Amino acid sequence: MSRSLLRRALIVTGLCGALAGCAPGEPERLPVVLPDTRAPLGLTAQEGREHRAVMLQHLETVQAIVAALAEEDFVRAEGLTQAHLGFFMHRQMITPAQPLARQDALFPEARQHPESFPPAYHDLAMAHHEAAEALARIMPSRDLKQILPKLDAVLKACVACHLAYRVEGSSDKPGRTDGHSAHP
């Protein structure tokens, strides 16, 4: 075989391999699937949906706090933290006589059921609320070097809980019976 013919064959082989997604030297990568070792919270399907709604509210609040900080709107960031993340939100109990009290919430019907949670979950929730109160207290300083570590503590509390617990069977999408939600 001539040298130019061999060169053409190698080029064609390389191009075909690259176009097919199997270029020489590229090992096939299989996805890594790890078992979910988080403890289930043991909520009913309805409680699970409501709990997920509260968690989504928390996530959206954190995003709004970051946006307020980016705009250097420390008053808004403090207000969001107080209204939605700390003990503040639990101090003012909403009674059935106050049906409009939660209309500003994304999911006004969402409630948590603390009597259903394990004691270790309560400890993580307390750490989250305490971190949120510390964040709210530092906001008036307007000093991001003090504020961002407190925000980091709030996020670490969120992550610690999500690493420890999962909500089972709360998906309202049909076809999911494996204990996992259709949403992360």
In one-letter notation, the amino acid at residue 104 is: D
Residue 136: pLDDT over 70: yes
In one-letter notation, the amino acid at residue 10 is: L
Average pLDDT of the chain, as a whole number: 75
How crowded is residue 173: how many other Cβ atoms within 10 Å of its Cβ?
A: 8
Q: Domain segments of the chain: what residues? A: 39-91+104-166
- pLDDT tens for each residue of 44-78: 888 888 888 888 988 999 999 999 999 999 999 99
Looking at CATH, the fold of the domain delimited by 39-91+104-166 is given as Four Helix Bundle (Hemerythrin (Met), subunit A) (1.20.120)
DSSP state of 40: E
Read off the tokens for 71: 């705009």
165 CB contacts (<8 Å, ≥6 apart)?
38, 39, 40, 41, 121, 124
Can you give the pLDDT at residue 47?
84
How crowded is residue 74: how many other Cβ atoms within 10 Å of its Cβ?
A: 18
At 14, is the pLDDT very low, low, confident or very high (cuts 50, 70, 90)? low
Percent pLDDT > 90 in the chain is: 35
d(CA 116, CA 90): 17
Can you give the pLDDT at residue 61?
92
DSSP state of 21: T
Query: What dihedral angle (degrees, nearest 10) is formed by the CA atoms of 169, 173, 174, 176?
Result: -40
At 161, is the pLDDT very low, low, confident or very high (cuts 50, 70, 90)? very high
Among candidate residues 64, 50, 39, the one with its CA nearest the CA of residue 108 = 50
Calculate Rg over the CA atoms of the chain.
25
Can you give the pLDDT at residue 117?
80
CA atoms within 13 A on the CB side of 56: 14
